[in-house]
Amino acid sequence: MVGVHVFTSITTNYLPKARVLAESIRRQAPDFYIHLVLCDVPPPGFNLAVEPFDTLLTLADLGLDDPAWLFSHTVVELCTAAKGPALQHLLRDGAEKVFYFDPDIVVFGRLDDLVEALDRHCVLLTPHQSVPEEGDEAVRHNEICSLRHGVFNLGFLGVRNDGEGRRLADWWAERLRRYCFDDPVRGLFTDQRWMDLAPCFFPGLGILRDAGFNVATWNLTHRQVAGSLGDGIRVNGEPLGFYHFSGFDSGAQERMLTQFGGENPALWELRGWYLAECDRHGQIELGTRAAEHSCFDNGTLIEPRQRVLYRTRTDLQRAFPDPFATKDPKSSYLHWWRVNAPSDAAAGSFQAPADAPYGLVLREFLDYTAARVRRSPRLGRWSRACLLPALTLARRLSRLLPG
């Protein structure tokens, strides 16, 4: 299994984006091996032979199929937690160099530069920002956001298969198995905050400050994007390496692009092209598909607080080793929850610490409200269908706020 290997980690609703990513890599480096880590069940008709991926890795392949562990993670936490074990798996199988790309990235060129950089460094990371911001608005949106979510954007990672590269992979994978949660109060943001420590632990690590890599809305204040898809996109005068289309599903990408990209025709051409490519690869059919582990086995959506309580209570983990199961009330965590969790009346009004960051307070309030909407006997199915998507969208957008 020598050579250069690339992987991405998704649930099925991100398969269209992963296809766009894989095809972009195929165009630039047809000899790279591309692996799809699917933290979900494949969609009907999925056939690896006609997909742009060489192999399919499942959670079972990575030893991550324990129901209690799966239930303890949201869908986003699950996909990011799988990245560390997947990296270990590829290195153990003999890959010389491994790159991870988020599924919402597109590679436009310069992969040779990344491969050569791994000749000099055991690990490659890209920072969210590589130039200090100047205006207060940009500081709040970009630098402070990096302080909350991580200095490095883990939409990209490169690792060389040597002693230090394997040590980083083992350290990171172990942390993600136990602590890959979106829990800002505890200083955690899935896989990213852990890598803030990596330069302290691994002296062979390299930081890619090249403006052409991992271009995204959070660094456009210092990256001048010009050109066209036909003639080539350039960033600060150099060819574009890869662009990160983060925040499409929540609507944040368009809003941040308007704010920091203005009317730049190259950026809007990229966005329009990407939307069309995702649609061509099944976005309309798959983009809203619920992930397998987002629901109990009877189809009831799992609330974030149900996951948090379960993962923090060892007695519940012992009593309900498969918390997804609902058929037998005696062994059903959902049944236990409905009997023992606070009722709407007992829960009272929403409360939050006075000094809590307002972004965190808003997210907790939205979770609280969504839970009440789901459980209220006064709301019918149509009312829930109208309210819950709006609350979900509001929660996604709330991540742009401090906290």
- Checking phi first, is residue 262 left (phi over 0); if not, alpha (psi -120 to 50) or beta? left
Regarding whether 201 and 148 lie in a shared domain, the answer is yes
Say whether pLDDT at 249 is over 90: no
Q: pLDDT digit string (tens) for 270-298?
A: 999 999 999 999 999 999 999 999 999 99
Regarding whether 121 and 145 lie in a shared domain, the answer is yes
Residue 255 located in a structural domain: yes
Domain that holds residue 84: 4-285
Q: Could you give the CA distance from residue 72 to residue 315 in angstroms, rounded to a whole number?
A: 14
Q: pLDDT digit string (tens) for 63-101?
A: 999 999 999 999 999 999 999 999 999 999 999 999 999
Is the distance from CB of 168 to CB of 159 less than 8 angstroms?
yes
DSSP string, 104-167: TEEE-S-HHHHHHHHHH-SEEEEES-SS---SHHHIIIIIHHHHHH-SEEEEEEEEESSHHHHH
Indicate which CATH number applies to the domain containing 192.
Answer: 3.90.550.10
**pLDDT average, residue stretch 159-172:** 98
Average pLDDT, whole number, for the chain? 91
Into how many domains does the chain fold?
Answer: 2
Q: Could you give the CA distance from residue 136 to residue 234 in angstroms, rounded to a whole number?
A: 27
Say whether pLDDT at 354 is over 60: no
Q: Where among 285, 307, 331 does a domain terminate?
A: 285
Q: Could you give the CA distance from residue 9 to residue 56 in angstroms, rounded to a whole number?
A: 10
Q: Could you give the CA distance from residue 305 to residue 342 in angstroms, rounded to a whole number?
A: 12
Regarding whether 161 and 33 lie in a shared domain, the answer is yes
Say whether pLDDT at 345 is over 80: no
Which residue's structure tokens are 């307002």? 358
Among 85-99, 173-187, 250-264, the range scoring the smallest mean pLDDT is 250-264
Among 201-215, 289-303, 356-370, the range scoring the smallest mean pLDDT is 356-370
Return the pLDDT at 356. 56
**pLDDT average, residue stretch 229-248:** 95
Neighbours of 304 (CB within 10 A): 15
Residue 233's identity, in one-letter code, is I
Regarding whether 177 and 317 lie in a shared domain, the answer is no
**Closest listed residue to residue 191, CA positions, set 84, 304, 311:** 84
Rounded to 5 degrees, φ, ψ at 206 are -115, 140
Q: Where among 253, 285, 317 does a domain terminate?
A: 285
Say whether pLDDT at 40 is over 90: yes
Regarding whether 247 and 387 lie in a shared domain, the answer is no
Return the pLDDT at 363. 78
Residue 203's identity, in one-letter code, is P
Return the pLDDT at 346. 39
* Residues facing residue 227 across a β-bridge: 233
Regarding whether 70 and 175 lie in a shared domain, the answer is yes
**pLDDT average, residue stretch 348-357:** 52
Residue 183 located in a structural domain: yes
Return the pLDDT at 350. 55
CA angle 33, 38, 44 (to 5 degrees): 110
pLDDT band of 1, cuts 50, 70, 90: low
Residue 179 located in a structural domain: yes
Rg of the chain over Cα atoms, rounded to whole angstroms, equals: 22
pLDDT band of 134, cuts 50, 70, 90: confident
Regarding whether 304 and 270 lie in a shared domain, the answer is no
Q: pLDDT digit string (tens) for 15-35?
A: 999 999 999 999 999 999 999
Residue 172 located in a structural domain: yes
Regarding whether 245 and 120 lie in a shared domain, the answer is yes
pLDDT band of 378, cuts 50, 70, 90: low
Residue 334 located in a structural domain: yes
Three-state secondary structure string covering 149-178: HCCEEEEEEEEECCHHHHHHHHHHHHHHHH
Residue 226: exposure state from Cβ atoms within 10 A (0-12, 13-18, ≥19)? middle
Is the distance from CB of 51 to CB of 19 less than 8 angstroms?
yes
Regarding whether 389 and 260 lie in a shared domain, the answer is no
Say whether pLDDT at 352 is over 60: no
Residue 111 located in a structural domain: yes
Regarding whether 366 and 228 lie in a shared domain, the answer is no
Return the pLDDT at 375. 64
Residue 166's identity, in one-letter code, is R
Residue 367 located in a structural domain: yes
pLDDT band of 313, cuts 50, 70, 90: very high
Q: Where among 242, 268, 285 does a domain terminate?
A: 285
Residue 403 located in a structural domain: no
* Residues facing residue 58 across a β-bridge: 38
CA atoms within 13 A on the CB side of 141: 20
Regarding whether 203 and 166 lie in a shared domain, the answer is yes
Q: Could you give the CA distance from residue 29 to residue 19 in angstroms, rounded to a whole number?
A: 15
Regarding whether 202 and 132 lie in a shared domain, the answer is yes
